[in-house]
Structure 1
């Protein structure tokens, strides 16, 4: 019952906070199912809600947390339990949980706690990414968007002055910003023409004679003659 409510609380948070770009990836009462999923998907920076009382005699939630910590060093581990007295044991096992959800506080309390912890986990993730310059941030209206810079394929101008189009694979957005400011802020983005910046980490092929680059998304973008030498120098350095 509580697991179902926890799942509902997380799904509600995702539904009403789409700007956080979260998804509920795996739910199970069996540790092995979780382990199999994490090994298959190579999850990193995950957020884990773990019940200490797993229905397995030789493997509890703290054991699973310790296993996760070894494979996802930046994991955000949150215990859902009525046994807060076990907190010292998590220190001994070096699990480093970021929080606890007390089952005894009732459904409304659990929901509020889950929402607060997800917001906190997101802020920690964004802070770390910003410190490492790994996110691309832009604003449309009153909504702020943040995406991994590695996902960004290209940015190009549109017919409207200072309005840019950005591609994250199969997702596209249009927003207002000076191209020159973006170029200066993100060295990973290379100008290949007056109207286009491409992510150098996502270039898979360059044809110098025909002057184009192919990106991981499969799309090609033209290189203007003026920027051909700069593109070649940048590619040779990689």
Structure 2
């Protein structure tokens, strides 16, 4: 289901946006209502942040007021937060400040649209709902791509496609962190190899200090007890893991 987040500090305008969105969910250009719901409608940016952080797997259409009066956090801050935490989100800015449009581009939050409150918002909001739902439908009907959510520091999380991960390595003298090696990133993340191995069936503990991604194996030499990955990394296979890797190879 596509969830809708509305952040607007004017009570009347927030109710108006909510009503237009709800009406479009129920009555649209299809023969049935959209698989959508308004999950949160608030004037408090902290509520929006908490929602995003607590619903990271959800797909969201967000209507954000850029200039929130008497608030230290504005709609642009929320947009950046959404891009950091959610794998799919459409962002629509609703504001009277047209001059802020270039700033939204510099922030690289890729908004779907920019709605001027001084104009009649109804048609534009309806159109945004339609387009967002179309994008959502394409996203869920496309090939499934598994992701891993990992913590880079206390309370800060990122996501990466499983297929892009090559391996995880222990860090000598550090029991709280491990090294993530991926197609376009090398990062120190919070965690341990034991827990990482349980995150996905493609993760395999080939030795005491390494978990590899089976998807990205290029070559295995069981005689030499060596695994070569697609990024040319080479890891030893511990003797007690030979039987396990043979079993995995036979099942594929």
* Structure 1 pair 72–42 and aligned structure 2 pair: CA distance change class (3 A): closer
Structure 1 runs (4+) deviating above 3 angstroms are none
How many residue pairs were aligned? 134
Q: If each structure's strand is expressed as a fraction of its own residues, which one has the higher value?
A: 2
Q: How far 1:237 sits from its partner (Å)?
A: 5.6
Task: Kindly state the Cα deviation for residue 19 of structure 1 after the two structures are TM-superposed.
Answer: 3.4
CA contact (8 A) 1:30 1:56 kept: no
SS at match of 1:54: coil
Where does residue 81 of structure 1 map in the other structure? 95
Residue number in structure 2 paired with 1:68: 82
Q: Which residue of 2 aligns with 1:130?
A: 141
Shift in Å, 1:61: 0.7
Q: Distance in 1 between matches of 2:55 and 2:44?
A: 17
Cα distance in 1 for residues equivalent to 2:251 and 2:36: 36
TM-score normalised to structure 2 length: 0.49
Match in the other structure for 1:110: 121
Residue matched to 2:27: 16
Trace 1:1-238 onto structure 2 (pairs within 5 A). 1-17=12-28, 18-105=32-119, 109-132=120-143
CA distance in 2, matches of 1:52, 1:89: 11
How far residue 133 of structure 1 moved from its aligned partner, in angstroms, is 6.3
Instruction: Give the secondary structure class of the aligned counterpart of 1:58.
Output: coil
Q: Is there any run of 5+ residues in structure 1 with no aligned partner, and where?
A: 135-235
Structure 2 CA distance, aligned partners of 1:97 and 1:12?
Answer: 22
State the shift of 1:43 in Å: 4.4
Q: Report which of the two has the higher share of helix.
A: 1
Q: Which runs of 5+ in 2 are unaligned?
A: 1-11, 146-249
